[in-house]
Amino acid sequence: MSIAERVELGLIVAVAAAFSVGADALPERMAVGNLLLEASALILLQSLLRDLWLLAKARHNPPPNPPRTGQCMCVESTVGITGVVAGLILVTCRIGTTLPMGRWSWGAFALVSLGMGFLMKDYVAEFKPLRIRRDKDHVNIIVRWKLW
């Protein structure tokens, strides 16, 4: 595990602790759609911050591998975008129940959401052939979409 990954894990724990400590300022009950929307937004924000850090790092030390092309998408982004859309549908249609959210619930919510983002970060969903594969260096893939 790299130093950056260890730092990210430490930040995940710190954010989860901050959610627990700041739970008094957060709602006591949340609709399932809102929770899905917020979890997906957290995953996308985590991915954005990681990508910005990787881009800043690449400016100082260009990657040794040349860029590749492919018909693929980061699994983390795919799950995040799908969750945002599903959450918006649930919120807009007012579907689902509300759940009680206490101090520990908010901390667990942040820990699970960001932990899932961390676990998905190295995976890519390829469309030709249809598969999910591990690619730690997928920031260097140039996405090309061929419709036919």
Give per-residue pLDDT as tens, 117-128. 999 998 988 887
Residue 30: both structure tokens together:
């949340």
Q: Is 138 exposed, middle or buried (0-12, 13-18, 19+ CB in 10 A)?
A: buried
What is the helix (H) or strand (E) element at residue 60, kind and residue range? Answer: helix 32-60
d(CA 16, CA 117): 13
pLDDT of residue 62: 74
Residue in this structure with the two tokens 């809102």, named with its chain if needed: 34
Give CA–CA dist 143/135, Å, rounded: 14
Mean pLDDT score of the chain: 87
pLDDT at 148 over 70: no
- Alpha-carbon gap, residue 14 to 10, rounded angstroms: 6
Comparing 9-18, 80-89, 130-139, the range with the smallest average pLDDT is 130-139
pLDDT higher than 90, residue 51: no
